[in-house]
Structure 1
Amino acid sequence: MPGQEKVEMQWMPRPEESAPSNCPQGLEYLLLIDQLLVHQKIELLELMTGFETENKYVVKNSLGQQVYYAKEVSDCATRQCCGPNRPFQMQITDNAGKEVMRLDRPFRCGFQCCCETQRPFLEVQAPPGNPIGYVKSEACACVWPTFLLLDLNMQPILRIHTPCCGVGCCDCSPKYPVRSMDGQDVGLIQKQWSGLTKEMFTDADNFGVSFPMDLDVKMKGVMLGALFLIDFLFFETQKQNH
């Protein structure tokens, strides 16, 4: 609009120091980060019609600089019919437009299924085609679900606990503590309150994830993947104005 200046997105500069040999290319940004903010973009078509579109996200550091851009790739029919259980790939690109991470989620029946092979699961790849870890649901709905964050060898490294009411019915900012396997606090995934209108009429969400600066960079990537899985499982259902 006239009289308004266009705000340019500032990207996080690529780290000047060389990354360790075990750091996947593109994840060197995470070496210098202990927090990420994830903002889902509002889709006008979805807002006006309720027609579920592919999700898009901006991933920023604590200074507000963009680190990554994430875009869901999924089939139109499954988005409308399968809702939060739908299969998808999430393509995560850096400031050069290069895909540095890919999240691969197969179709699963959800928490209600007591069959372990049908509970929520996510593979994290960095670069695409190279798995670095996994996220899987540890328990079915009869025991409130927790998530295991696994390394490449499917060994559990971290556990995510969900709040008792899942989507935080008593709290606008539900918290998902991340703990080591012996119960020590390691990090936190938290949904951020994004405003009454946005919360009521869209399923576009804001999240934050924090972790120790010295956490293995691959596990930081797996935690980011877990954030997206939590968004789909608990917050993807289209809001209705009652």
Structure 2
Amino acid sequence: MEANKMEDRGSNALKTHMAGCQKLDIRQTRRGWCQELLGCEALTEFKYFMGNDQVFHSIEEASCCCRFCCSPVHPYKMTVKELNTDAELVTIDRPMSCMPCGCKCCCYQVASFTSDGTTLGSIKEDYWYCVPSFKIFDSNGEPMYKLHQPTCCGGVCVNCCAEGNPCGKGCCKASFRVYPADQQQTNGDAPFVGSILRKPKSVATELFTDAQAFEVDFPENSSADQKGILMGTTIFINTNFFEAAK
């Protein structure tokens, strides 16, 4: 099934805002200095921007006990809502999972995405070694996209220099690239249709907080629902890789 043939099933708010959107900035809200100092596991909150304008917001729904004892593998839900009206765009549902490790031979991460109770799709972790990889599925369970970090050495290693010199303009950047599900070659300089880029914020934010910032480039001609899925995928990626690294 071609990625651009998926029928829109999401809410009116999702269709209204995402139909013409090609790039979205997602910024995690910084915690207060007291929370940072004490290492409190506060609920994760995000703001979503198109250009300089905030359009959405979301806050994690998870029990304090689970978050404190099991983060970042705790179960949670997070609903992205329209600013001011709280109209739902997409809800991310991530169940409890096993602790991450260097290779995935027995434990896998999954999440599902809905909009106003209607299933949009899901993301499931592939079996991998060294390079984390995922498949994104549509509402019918058909593969839609592949997702993994840029690679080198024939696909064996993550390419840490893909976004630039880590000691220069690539500092604090990490990306996951989006490929069509039917694309066979996705390693090295293989063409990709979209990306999720973890980018640096201010020096003070990087040094003294754990707040993250992401830039999502959506595939050309992708539907509003597909963009909603990739928006939810960004939150999923943050939980599994960047909250885990706090």
TM bracket (short chain): 0.7 to 0.9
Aligned mates of 1:214, 1:109 — CA distance in 2? 36
**Of the candidates 58, 69, 90, which is equivalent to residue 81 of structure 1?**
69
Query: Quick one: distance in 1 between partners of 2:148 and 2:98?
Result: 20
1:202 aligns with 2:177: no
- 1:177 is matched with which residue? 177
Determine which structure has the larger strand proportion and give its number: 2
Deviates more, 1:206-215 or 1:157-166: 157-166
Matched, 1:70 2:58: yes
**1:134-175 CA-partner distances (Å, limit 9, x unpaired):** 0111124x3522011100111111011124459989442111
Match of 1:193 among 185, 195, 200: 200
Q: 2:39 aligns with which of 42, 50, 63?
A: 50
Matching residue of 1:30: 18
Letter paired with 2:174: P
TM-score under structure 1 length normalisation: 0.81
Q: Which amino acid aligns with 2:207?
A: M
Match of 1:4 in 2: none
Aligned length: 215
The question of 1:93 aligning with 2:88 is answered: no
Could you tell me which of 144, 153, 161 is aligned with 2:131? 144
Please give the TM-score of this superposition, normalised by the length of structure 2: 0.79
Identical-pair percentage: 26
Q: Secondary structure at the match of 1:85?
A: coil
1:230 to partner: Cα distance: 0.8
1:212 deviation in Å? 3.2
Partner residue in 2 for 1:212: 219
The structure, 1 or 2, with the larger RCO (C-alpha pairs under 8 Å, 6+ apart) is 2
Moved more, 52-61 or 198-207: 198-207
Cα pair 1:69 1:93 within 8 Å, conserved: yes
**Correspondence for 1:3:** none
Q: Residue 73 of structure 2 contacts residue 240 of structure 2 at CA under 8 Å; is this kept in 1?
A: yes
Q: What is the Cα deviation at residue 133 of structure 1?
A: 0.4
What is the match of residue 39 of structure 1?
A: 27
State how far apart, in whole Å, the 2-side matches of 1:76 and 1:26 are: 30
User: How far, CA to CA, are the matches of 1:222 and 1:88 in structure 2?
Assistant: 17
Structure 2 vs 1, CA of residues 137 and 21 (structure 1 numbering), >3 Å: closer, same or farther? closer
